[in-house]
Amino acid sequence: MALRRSIWSKTSWTRVCSAPHEAPMRLCVEPSFQHHQHLATHSAAAAAAAAAPRQHQSPELLTLRDRTGLEDLFCALQTQNSILLHKAFIEWTSVLADPSSPFHDAAVRQARELSGPSFSEILRSLDPMASEKHDVAHGLNLTPGHTQFTNAGALVDEFGVRRRHRQLLRGMQALMQARSESRHSLTTADYEVLIRCAGISVDLLAAKRFWNAMAGQGLQESRTAKTWTEFIKSRFMTEPAYYQFDRSRVAVMARDLYSNRETLPSANLKRMDNMRLSINALKMEPWNRRVDEPDEDLRRVFRRKTDFRSYRAHWIRGLYYGHEIDTELLSVSLIAFARSSSLRSMKEFIFKSYYGIHIDEQSVPGKIEISGGIDLPADSPIRPNERFLSAIVDALGSMSHIALGMKLLDFVSRRYDVPIPRETWSNLLNWTYLCASKPFKPLRRLHGDFPSTATSAADVRLVWDVMTSEPYNIAPTFEDYDIYIKTLISQRAFGRALGLIRGHILPAYENVVREHQLAVQDGVLQNGIAPSGTATQQAARLEAQTYKEYLHHHISSWFDRLLKTASANKGHREGDVMKTMIPNLVVEFGDFFHHQIQYRTAQGVVRIHRPEAFRRFEWKARWRKTLPQKKAGIHAYRVEGSDQPDFAYPLVPTMKIFEWRRQAKPRMEHLGKAPEEAKGKKKEAPHEWWDRLEDELML
């Protein structure tokens, strides 16, 4: 197997690893795309700590406190190392949650006897929203495709939620259970951390329980506007981290807008329902589903507009609580109203009531008139800021009101002299692309094809042109380039897309590759000093490899999309695109094409098998059953008992499907130590290690 890029000399690695007292040199790489990578250090203190870990001590010498894991938690708390802190907390709470453990009773006593300040410090240090270091894939939208082509599937569970966050929530729940009979009470700030843990774990029921637990502790009067805001964020998934940075999970689908008061032609409703059931049949895992009811999508929980579970009811309750209204609460309320597509409530309760902004979309069809805007002092708690601008884009973008969102964004920015940040432009571009994609665009067209919600690829290019030109001159991120390149390919502007890939994407990707190589080299050098390595270094390598796989998967998907788009066009099949451009691309970008390539020409289908190509996945055959899915409401309409909570709602029959699924090639969980040159019968062992390391660098 030949590497496509140079790696380090085996001889030099063996020499360095066999002499741990020599300090290796570190290289600094400045990636073009902003993604924080933290490589492990080679300090003598770290080496000494790794060489003599606590777990190698004799069990007879360990105190009861050591065996429960609380001492390790305190040590990690002093270092403020998020990796060690999370590991120690999970180990300690695992003992708390396991009644069969011989140290369970001791751990429970420790949890109850912890002082209030110590308990609060533990919670604040584990706050998942306080630092990006709590998630190695922070900011990355890990799709089901990533779990097939890359090793990112190990980071999420069957519901598409980060495993690390779910582990943290279970630990918090076990700790709260043990703490329930303690004489030390929790503070309001402690409950806010717990609510954030529930929100980032996508557990709406846990967020409600933490909120209600405050009343049980007599903290009703201690709830502040911040506490209420944190609860609303978790309850309606308003933060990107809460919906796992995947906007499609919270985007309003036109099928969910149907109700008995807003009827549709039966033919349109049937086609929309067929699309919904087809999507369910293609789903392999219950992503974005309720854990307690896997047959219901989380979007269905947010769609209610009027009953006690709607945000309209929450908004009224919030007013009765008497909390001070600030910009943060208004921003969160905009997004929460958008979850049920309550555009009228947004206009009346927020824009008109607090800012005097009038939005008229009815007087002239297809034309939006925005006027008003009261004067607010600079120190006003409700004065719009950058967070408010981002909330406007999030709210209106999720409802497919892109034109209104752009106009309102510009109006508020000019009226209150708030510059539009880069993140807001990127957010607007993402929402525009999502609304112009399947299944959202076809469903909107069936729902009514209204001009206010019609979005196309031309709108994506319009947003790109505005954000990258004067006076904004926004520097696009990789996610922005990803959207723009996919839009260009869909419009068959192949030349412009390839120019961006060659000029902007590949140089940045090479920097990320070097960053990953440094992380792997750092791990091998650390293992040369301490065979077990360090948790910090392992996390740094995992972060580097996750981001590298993330970029590679997206770039590879562009070329796969290009082949499909060109194959679908008769002019391309008969022209130079298939005759010269595609073969040249396979040679130039061979690392981003799969080992099996297929496309159409005027003469037929071309299939290329490349045995020399590096295989990043293998095909696996399996049987599976379709996910449970409820039928449309018409099947339960006027059925006896359908209004009762325990009504057995009719489900779609389950199908058994035989399919071929991609399975990503596994990575090395532990790098191990670089072997020295062997002699005699052991001569093959070093080569096996180097071969595995070569695969690790190629993935």
DSSP letters for 401-444: -HHHHHHHHHHHHHHTT-PPPHHHHHHHHHHHHHHTSTTHHHHH
Q: Positive or negative, the Cα torsion across 361, 363, 367, 370? A: negative
Report the pLDDT value the prediction gives residue 49, as an integer from 0 to 100.
41
H-state helical runs in 181-246? 188-200, 204-216, 225-236
- The ranges of the chain with pLDDT < 70 are 1-66, 260, 363-365, 528-533, 676-686
CA distance 687 to 689: 5
- Residue 551, classed as helix, strand or coil, is helix
CA atoms within 13 A on the CB side of 26: 12
User: Cβ atoms within 10 A of the Cβ of 207, count?
Assistant: 26
Report the pLDDT value the prediction gives residue 365, as an integer from 0 to 100.
67
Tokens standing for 606? 């071309």
| Residues 695 and 662: beta-carbon distance below 8 Å | no
Computed on alpha carbons and rounded to an integer, the radius of gyration of the chain in Å comes to 28
Nearest to 342 by CA among 290, 282, 381, 399: 399
Check whether the bond before 421 is cis (ω within 30° of 0). no
Return phi, psi of residue 47, to 5°: -65, -40
Residue type, 331: S
The residues that bridge with 663 in the sheet, in sequence order, are 618
| Residues 697 and 7: beta-carbon distance below 8 Å | yes
CA distance 699 to 272: 40
| Residues 602 and 595: beta-carbon distance below 8 Å | no
CA distance 589 to 501: 10
The H or E element containing residue 572 is: helix 570-574
Question: Which positions ≥6 away from 147 have C-beta within 8 Å?
Answer: 153, 156, 664
Nearest to 109 by CA among 125, 92, 126: 92
The residues that bridge with 262 in the sheet, in sequence order, are 259
Q: Positive or negative, the Cα torsion across 151, 154, 160, 162? A: negative
CA distance 75 to 98: 23
The H or E element containing residue 105 is: helix 104-113
CA distance 213 to 231: 13
CA distance 326 to 225: 8
Name the one residue in this structure whose structure tokens are 């297929």: 598
3-state SS, one letter per residue, for 70-96: HHHHHHHHHHCCHHHHHHHHHHHHHHH
CA distance 302 to 336: 9
The residues that bridge with 621 in the sheet, in sequence order, are 660
Residue type, 54: R
User: Would you list the domain boundaries of the chain?
Assistant: 67-223, 266-299+617-664, 491-614
Identify the DSSP state of 581: I
Report the pLDDT value the prediction gives residue 637, as an integer from 0 to 100.
79
Burial grade of 449 (CB within 10 A; 0-12, 13-18, 19 or more): exposed
The residues that bridge with 657 in the sheet, in sequence order, are 624
Question: Which positions ≥6 away from 149 have C-beta within 8 Å?
Answer: 549, 553, 556, 616, 617, 662, 664
CA distance 64 to 71: 10
543-577 pLDDT, tens digit per residue, is: 999 999 999 999 999 999 999 999 999 999 999 99
Report the pLDDT value the prediction gives residue 81, as an integer from 0 to 100.
86
**pTM for this one?**
0.88
Nearest to 389 by CA among 375, 371, 405, 368: 405
| Residues 651 and 295: beta-carbon distance below 8 Å | yes
Nearest to 436 by CA among 392, 406, 402: 402
Report the pLDDT value the prediction gives residue 15, as an integer from 0 to 100.
30
| Residues 561 and 532: beta-carbon distance below 8 Å | no
Question: Which positions ≥6 away from 638 have C-beta within 8 Å?
Answer: none
| Coarse DSSP helix, strand, coil percentages of the chain, rounded to the nearest 5 percent | 55, 5, 35
